[in-house]
Structure 1
Amino acid sequence: MKKLIMMLFVVALVAVACKESKFKGFDQTESGLYYKFHQKGDDTVRAHTGDIIVAYIYYRTLNDSMFNNSPHRTPLEIQMNKSVYKGDIWEGLAMMGKGDSATFVTSVDSFFNILSHQPIPNFLDSGSFFYMDVKVVDILTKEQQAKKQMEEMARMKKVEEASIADYIKKNAITAAPDSNGIYARYDKKGKGKVVVAGNHVKVNIKLTILGQSQPIYDTWAETAGKGTDFVVGTGYFGMGLENYLNKGHQGDKFTLIIPSEMAFGARGSQGIVPPYSPIEYTCEILDTYTEKEFQAKKTAEELKAKNEEKKAISKYIKDNKISAKPDENGIYKIVMKEGNGKQVANGNKVSVHYNGYLLSGKKFDSSYDRKTPFDFVIGQGSVIRGWDLAVLNMKVGEKSKFIIPSVLAYGPSGSGAEIAPFTTLVFEIEVLGINNK
């Protein structure tokens, strides 16, 4: 009998050992979800379907590299759902209460393919796992959330009113606001073409949240004073500005203090403008034109830019004594160092180092300077088309210079302040390796 008991005890130990987590320090639910609690709050309330979970959520690779964090200092508000598959994050969240913090081991394939319906990031491998760190700040019913939002909206509205009053006092503004609560000051009255709703307008504009020193948008700085174009009447920058653009004149320059309800409203603009933010607009009307005039102007400008780009490429080739000929896509390739490794094929995940230059020689980007290689998958469109074509058929260990025309780069849109529309780019690219795991 003792032997039988001992055998059963050993079998039980083996069974327990077999159920031990393959992730050290983590427990496992019956459905297979690996979890580890770091802190347990005193609240016993758990979220049910439809409730709102207020939480900070951070994603980490198994090597502890952080990615896709919650917005800075701002917890997410997530509506609780039923589990979509066994061991998903909804099961994990259902285990948590206010004040709890935990880490969950999440399947890359299940999370991205089934739950979020997003492509798997290049730095995560199919079949692998990642960590999800969760810190629950609060759990609310829909009714509690609605009440909380109303209270917060009322508080922010009072803050806005005080902010406008303080600005008016500090700047000694004596003019009365218009019927929409907008304060206007004209620095210059233009005598050019009249702006009409439905037509295009080109303006220089600077937007600053009242009380802040740095603008959130400034075409004088970002476009070197060339301005931005949009259709009047679309509310592109808020309806308050529209009131002063419509029937305005080319050459007008003015400053507006616009309350949030005529700017970006109670919602604001995510990540840029907080809710209930009054905005200072400084605007100059550069030009206005009909849709037909706009299209004709755009076509003429693009044709001119394309011709200038061709001349710039020819000059660069001549000045740098480049003998290479462009391939069928218009890309010039100059081999700087031969490679002896595997040849890159379509669908390969490659790791590269690079320097990016304008034809002027100005460097605008460099993985070498960051000391961090860049990984991407050939042919998935995650990089400019010129890169997909250039790196294809390179060999591991090879380093080459590529002259990529704008049609295969950022085209008529450009990218940021440094890469203007129709800009040819020069890249030095070194293939470090191919990882198809």
Structure 2
Amino acid sequence: MTNPVLIGLVLLLCSCGPAQDTNEPLRDESERSAIEERLITELSPSDDLAGRQRNAIINRAIDRNYDVYAAPEGYFYEVLDSGQYNRLAEGDIVSVHYTGNFLDGKQFDGSRRRGDKLRFRVGDLIPAWNLGLQRVRPGARLRILTPSALAYGPEGLVAPNGDTLVPANEPLEFLIEEIAILEE
């Protein structure tokens, strides 16, 4: 004999859609509206490559409800957790977990996929990372949305085997987490 209450509960849970990503902050409707209104004012009337990429980044942020801010250098960032101690500086050797996505959400790279954190010196990577990382402290979580000029530019990113990982002039989104300063 089946329990109609149990069946109803299962059907209700199945119809609720995907679970909320627990890594994303929860925002109420008024907060989402305020973020959207602020970001709409950042849209560019320009139809050149830089203007189209800026608008694509802003639209991605609005669609995903990211609370990003425009940096003077041209990338957008959201500090999800500012971390502790002193801010990172150019020359610091750090390790991070990260995910790199195209603006459509498709992942093109990630450290977890390889099972190891990325280790590097701040200042040795793409400009958006070099600049954005100096806004946070060890332990931080940071989202960066960047135009191609501050990422891989007109060359794109090509793997050693010749495969194109990132096409030319592609704006990108990065989530950078578990930032730790390493000893030299």
For residues 24-423 of structure 1, the aligned pairs below 5 Å read 304-379=48-123, 382-416=124-158, 417-423=164-170
Amino acid at match of 2:135: N
Native 8 Å contact 1:353 1:429 kept in 2: yes
CA distance in 2, matches of 1:335, 1:324: 8
Distance 1:332 1:309 in 2: 11
Match of 2:176 in 1: 429
**Cα distance in 1 between the residues matched to 2:168 and 2:145:** 16
Give 4+ residue runs of structure 1 displaced > 4 Å after superposition. none
- What is the distance in 1 between the residues matched to 2:69 and 2:81? 18
Looking at structure 2, the residues matched to 398 and 323 of structure 1 have their Cα atoms a distance apart, in angstroms, of 16
> Which residue identity is paired with 2:137?
K
Aligned partner letter, 2:139: G
Letter of the 2:141 counterpart = K
Partners in 2 of 1:331 and 1:304 — Cα distance? 16
1:335 and 1:400 in contact (8 A); partners too = yes
Q: Distance in 1 between matches of 2:132 and 2:157?
A: 20
Q: Secondary structure of 2:56's partner?
A: helix
Instruction: State, as a whole percentage, how many aligned pairs show the same letter.
Output: 30
CA distance in 2 between counterparts of 1:327 and 1:306 reads 14
Q: CA–CA distance in 2 between the matches of 1:315 and 1:395? A: 28
Conserved 8 A contact 2:81-2:142: yes
* Residues 57, 146 of structure 2: 8 Å contact kept: no
In structure 2, the partner of 1:35 is none
TM-score (norm 1): 0.29
Equivalent residues, number: 133
Listed one character per residue, the Cα deviations across residues 364-407 of structure 1 (whole Å, up to 9, x for unaligned) are 1111221211111112xx31111111112321111111111111
Residue 426 of structure 1 aligns to which amino acid in structure 2?
E
The alpha-carbon distance between structure 1 residues 324 and 304, as it changes in their structure 2 partners (threshold 3 A), is closer
Q: Does the C-alpha gap of structure 1 residues 307 and 343 become closer, same or farther in structure 2, counting only changes over 3 Å?
A: closer
* Residues 411 and 422, structure 1, Cα contact 8 Å, conserved in 2: yes
How far the C-alpha of 1:427 sits from its partner, in A, is 0.6
Over 3 Å counting, the alpha-carbon distance change for 1:406 and 1:360 in structure 2 is: same
Cα displacement (A) at 1:311: 3.0
Residues 400-421 of structure 1: CA deviation (Å, up to 9, x unaligned): 1111111110112212324222
SS of alignment partner, residue 375 of structure 1: strand
3-state DSSP of counterpart to 2:157: coil
CA contact (8 A) 1:339 1:398 kept: yes
1:386 is paired with a residue whose SS is helix
CA contact (8 A) 1:350 1:431 kept: no
For residue 304 of structure 1, report the CA deviation from its aligned partner: 4.9
Shift in CA distance, 305/395, structure 1 to aligned 2, threshold 3 Å: same
Cα deviation, residue 345, structure 1: 1.4
Shift in alpha-carbon separation, 1:392–1:344, aligned structure 2, 3 A: same
Shift in alpha-carbon separation, 1:363–1:344, aligned structure 2, 3 A: same
The Cα offsets for residues 229-249 of structure 1, whole Å up to 9 and x where unpaired, read as xxxxxxxxxxxxxxxxxxxxx
Q: Which is higher, the Rg of structure 1 or of structure 2? A: 1
Deviations 1:206-235 (A, max 9, x none): xxxxxxxxxxxxxxxxxxxxxxxxxxxxxx
CA RMSD in angstroms comes to 1.9
- Judging by fraction of residues, say which structure has more helix: 2
| Compared CA separation, residues 314 and 333, structure 1 to 2 (3 A) | closer
